Amino acid sequence: MIDVFAAIAIGLGAGAAAFFGALLLRPSRHSVPEVAAALAPVPERTEILLTGPRVIDMTVSARQMVDCAVAEPLDWTDLVCALTPLFGPLPDQPPQEETILTSEGNPDLRLVISPQGPDLRLTVSGPPLGLGAQLRLQADRADLDRLRRTMALVPCPIWQSSDSGQTLWHNAAFEDICAQMGCAADGPCPFDLLPAEDEDTQVTRVSAPDLQTGGTLWFEVQSHRVPEGWLHVALSIDAIITSEMSQRNFLQTLTRIFAHLPIGLAVFDKERRLVLFNPALIDLTALPADFLSVRPNLLSFFDMLRDKRMMPEPKNYQNWRDKLGDLIAAASSDLYIETWNLPSGLTYKITGRPHPDGGIAFLFEDISAEVSLTRRFRQEIETSHAVLDCLDDAIAVFSQMGVLSFCNEAYRDLWNSDPDITLTETGVTDATRLWQAQCRPTPVWGDLRDFVLNLTDRAIWDAELDLLCGQRLICRVEPVAGGATLVRFSRIGAVVPHPEPSLHDA
Does 382 reside within a domain?
no
Same domain, residue pair 431 and 399? yes
Same domain, residue pair 270 and 366? yes
**What's the rounded Cα separation, in Å, for the pair 240 and 114?**
56
Does 309 reside within a domain?
yes
Same domain, residue pair 404 and 341? no
Domain boundary among 131, 165, 187: 131
CATH code for position 73: 3.30.450
Same domain, residue pair 17 and 52? no
Same domain, residue pair 330 and 414? no
Same domain, residue pair 190 and 111? no
Q: Give the model confidence (pLDDT) of 264-317 as tens digits.
A: 989 888 888 998 888 899 999 999 989 998 999 988 898 888 888 888 877 677
Dihedral angle of Cα 431, 433, 434, 439, to the nearest 10 degrees: 120
Q: Three-state SS for 318?
A: helix
pLDDT at site 411: 92
Does 333 reside within a domain?
yes
Beta carbons of 124 and 46 less than 8 angstroms apart = yes
Which pairing describes strands 158-161 and 167-170: parallel, antiparallel, or unpaired?
antiparallel
Q: Which of 478, 505, 504 is nearest to 490 (CA)?
A: 478
Domain boundary among 78, 105, 131: 131
The 10 Å Cβ neighbour count of residue 33 is 8
Same domain, residue pair 53 and 18? no
**What's the rounded Cα separation, in Å, for the pair 203 and 342?**
50
Domain count, the chain: 5
Residues spanned by the domain of 50: 46-131
Beta carbons of 475 and 465 less than 8 angstroms apart = yes
Does 360 reside within a domain?
yes
Q: Three-state SS for 273?
A: strand
- Residue 473, classified by CB atoms within 10 Å of its CB into exposed (0-12), middle (13-18) or buried (19+), is buried
Beta carbons of 157 and 171 less than 8 angstroms apart = yes
pLDDT at site 397: 93
Same domain, residue pair 142 and 123? no
- Each residue's pLDDT, cut to its tens digit, for the chain (506 residues) gives 334 333 333 343 434 333 333 333 344 444 434 433 434 444 567 899 988 888 988 888 888 888 888 878 888 888 888 888 788 888 888 888 888 888 877 777 888 999 988 888 999 888 877 778 778 877 877 888 888 888 888 889 999 888 888 888 889 899 888 888 888 887 778 888 876 777 888 888 888 888 878 888 899 999 998 888 889 999 999 888 888 888 888 877 877 877 788 899 898 888 889 988 888 999 999 999 899 989 999 888 988 888 888 888 776 777 776 767 777 777 767 678 888 888 888 899 988 888 777 788 889 999 988 888 888 888 888 888 888 889 889 999 999 999 999 899 999 999 998 888 877 888 999 999 999 999 999 999 999 999 999 888 789 999 999 998 888 999 999 999 888 999 999 988 644 444 444 333 43
Q: Give the model confidence (pLDDT) of 45-67 as tens digits.
A: 789 998 888 898 888 888 888 88
Residues 6+ apart with CB under 8 A from 45: 59, 61, 123
Does 439 reside within a domain?
yes
Does 255 reside within a domain?
no
**What's the rounded Cα separation, in Å, for the pair 184 and 167?**
10
What is the identity of the amino acid at 428? V
Which pairing describes strands 336-341 and 216-226: parallel, antiparallel, or unpaired?
unpaired
Does 19 reside within a domain?
yes
pLDDT at site 81: 84
pLDDT at site 118: 86
Does 86 reside within a domain?
yes
**What's the rounded Cα separation, in Å, for the pair 84 and 166?**
13
Over 205-218, what HEC string results? Answer: EEEEECCCCCCEEE
Beta carbons of 158 and 165 less than 8 angstroms apart = no
pLDDT at site 89: 81
- Residue 491, classified by CB atoms within 10 Å of its CB into exposed (0-12), middle (13-18) or buried (19+), is middle
Same domain, residue pair 35 and 87? no
Same domain, residue pair 127 and 165? no
Same domain, residue pair 15 and 94? no
- In our burial notation (b when 16+ CB lie closer than 10 A, e otherwise), range 367-401 reads ebeebeeeeeeeeeeeeeeeebeeeebbbbbbbee
**What's the rounded Cα separation, in Å, for the pair 330 and 337?**
9
pLDDT at site 409: 92
DSSP bridge pairs for 25: none
pLDDT at site 44: 61
CATH code for position 187: 3.30.450.20
Same domain, residue pair 221 and 270? no
Domain boundary among 108, 131, 154: 131
Beta carbons of 281 and 292 less than 8 angstroms apart = yes
